[in-house]
Amino acid sequence: MKELPSTPSSDSDLKLRKDLKKRMEAALSSPVAKSFMAGALSGSISTLLLQPLDLVKTRLQMSVNIGSNMGMMNVAISVVRQDTFFGLWHGVWPSLTRCAPGVGIYFATLHYLRSNFGSSNPRALESLCMGMTARCIAGFLILPVTVIKTRYESGTFHYRGMANALALTYKNEGLRGLYSGLAPTLLRDVPFSGIYLMFYTYLKTYNQPCRFGAGLEPLVDFCNGLLGGALASFVTQPADVIKTTMQLNPEKYRHFRTVLPYIYQVGGIQGFWRGIVPRTLRRTLMTALAWTVFEEIMRRCSLK
């Protein structure tokens, strides 16, 4: 059977599809895209493993509002009794929805900043500024999901899903509700990321893997992450308490001038560090694990 000649329109469509495919492949193979995908994967793994610590931290900070003084273990046992063992993973979906793209955006932005504006041997101030800039961008973009995650974990808000939660919050509270706690969130996360990256970069330079052997690189990265995360968590804990209080009570505590006296009145100075143990455990382990997975993926992609 004789083959029909191709028409100009079919040739044009084929050329367009090939051009689109090339552009997609080029975009996905770019270092920034690989950084995003590696970051999203590392954020997902660490979130799934450490969600119980985040839930316990939120419940501990929330307990101040109802006059309770439960400890970390008592809160965990209470959750298990009420919702079974898997209740500790309540809110894991909004956490994943937040952390996967959030960590991906952070690492992609950081890679772009390092590649275009960074030096081969960054000083402490350079690492501090780059970490803060990358987190500021990621934190602002992902904040609405952070608000929903906090409310899920508190156990006092009941939604049918992420889309329903976002729609209801916007309907009842507007953009103010979706971005409640923006200032304390940035005050907590931006300094944390800057301080963390500063310590991590210094420790990574000091503890060169060649001193321990190439096979120990992931372990060295993990230990560097633990130390950097512990120091950064302690410094930024008060901002986390303020952020949680404002997001759980957006109508009552909209400004620093109302939330700061309340926290001090209820818990004193130590009230600003309430929930520090589960947060430090989770944040330190999460950042250490995320950076370890990220560094390993980037090494295998020959981008580190």
Coil, strand or helix at 67 = coil
Q: Which residues fall within 8 angstroms of residue 8, CB to CB, at 6 or more apart?
A: none
CA 2 to chain centre: 61
In the predicted structure, residue 135 carries a pLDDT above the cut 90 = yes
Share of the chain above pLDDT 70, in %: 83
pLDDT tens readout for residues 173-210: 888 888 888 888 888 789 889 999 998 988 888 776 55
Mean pLDDT of the chain: 80
pLDDT of residue 126: 92
Rounded CA separation 105/113 (Å):
12
Rounded CA separation 76/290 (Å):
24
In the predicted structure, residue 23 carries a pLDDT above the cut 70 = no
> What is the band of 21 on the pLDDT scale with cuts at 50, 70, 90?
low
- Cα-trace Rg, the chain: 22
Rounded CA separation 88/63 (Å):
16
Q: Record the tokens describing residue 208, joined without a space.
A: 């060169």
Q: Which residues fall within 8 angstroms of residue 154, CB to CB, at 6 or more apart?
A: 58, 59, 62, 248
> What is the band of 138 on the pLDDT scale with cuts at 50, 70, 90?
very high
pLDDT tens readout for residues 224-282: 889 888 888 888 888 888 888 887 777 777 778 888 888 888 888 888 888 788 788 87
Rounded CA separation 284/103 (Å):
15
Residue type, 140: F
Are 24 and 61 within 8 A, CB to CB?
Answer: no
CA 13 to chain centre: 42
Class of residue 47 by CB neighbours under 10 A (exposed 0-12, middle 13-18, buried 19+): buried
pLDDT of residue 263: 84
Rounded CA separation 147/294 (Å):
26
Rounded CA separation 76/55 (Å):
9
pLDDT of residue 9: 54
Are 99 and 143 within 8 A, CB to CB?
Answer: no
Q: pTM surpassing 0.85? A: no
Length of the chain in residues, anyone? 304
Q: Look at the block and give the residue holding tokens 């230990």.
A: 223
